[in-house]
Amino acid sequence: MALLHYTWKQLELNLKWALGKNTTVTKSPAREPYPGIFVEDLSQLNRFKRNAFMCVVGALFLMAFFRNLSTIYVNTRRKLRPFFRACLLSLAFSDVVSSVFCTVSYIAQFHADYLQLWTIGSFMSRFVPFVTTTSVLSGSLTLVAIACLCVGLIWVCSIGASAALFGIYEYQRIYLLELETPTQQTTDDDGETDQKLEVTELELVSMCLV
């Protein structure tokens, strides 16, 4: 779903490093104990790449959406056995659902300041992976078991297999950190020189984490 995934443990490691003995952290006014991530670890798109990706995703979405709607329209009017008609409609519907929510997710990422940031809320951070995984599994199981399983059972199995994603993905608030150039050096009793780093909290943002 996301272009690059970050886990909660990775962000905790970043926070521990930022709070090391040789580091000074310039804190923001917010009081919530959110972890941080360095902006150097995040990816950005320039305007050309952003527009190019948007055009590709938009074209693929339009093709998938209207072709599957046409499939649904035609097969609701053809004289087919109920089972085969239900399987064809299930395949088309799963493709429509998958294309809609994948497009929403990627467009939101392309519009964010950084690709890894999640801008469409806490509910969608769990619902999008759940729906897209359910639709992909239902389409795959329909193709595999088209001769022996009913469509309703396929969707029930797909929903059951995807339900765990509600507990895997979490909507978290994190700080963007910026590492400043070392400006001070200290010498300890053994004659070794330590560089003192400064980490600045830039802003509070949101991420959808595993």
- Asked whether the predicted pLDDT for residue 88 surpasses 80, the reply is yes
Higher pLDDT, 72 or 84: 72
Question: Given a cut of 60, is residue 157 above it in pLDDT?
Answer: yes
- Distance in angstroms (rounded) separating the CA atoms of residues 189 and 105: 54
What is the predicted pLDDT for the residue at 120? 87
pTM of the model: 0.66
pLDDT at 59 (0 to 100): 93
Q: Residue 35 pLDDT > 60, yes or no?
A: yes
Would you state the pLDDT for residue 63? Answer: 92
Backbone φ/ψ region at 177: left (φ over 0), alpha (ψ -120 to 50), beta: beta
At 183 the pLDDT is 57
Which residue do the tokens 């979405």 mark? 61
Mark 68-93 as b/e (b = at least 16 C-beta within 10 Å): beebbeebeeeeeeeeeebbbbbbbb
Q: What value does the mean pLDDT take over residues 150-162?
A: 82
More confidently predicted of 157 and 9? 157
Mean pLDDT of all residues in 157-183: 80
Among the listed ranges 54-58, 129-133, 138-142, 184-188, which one has the minimum average pLDDT value? 184-188
Return all residues near 107 (Cβ < 8 A) that are at least 6 apart: 54, 57
- When pLDDT is averaged across residues 23-43 and rounded to a whole number, the result is 65
Residue 100 pLDDT more than 50? Answer: yes
User: What whole-number distance in Å separates Cα of residue 87 and Cα of residue 69?
Assistant: 15
pLDDT for the residue numbered 66? 92
Identify the three-state secondary structure at position 106: helix
- Is 153 a residue whose pLDDT tops 60? yes
Query: How high is the mean pLDDT of the chain?
Result: 78
User: Does 55 have pLDDT greater than 60?
Assistant: yes
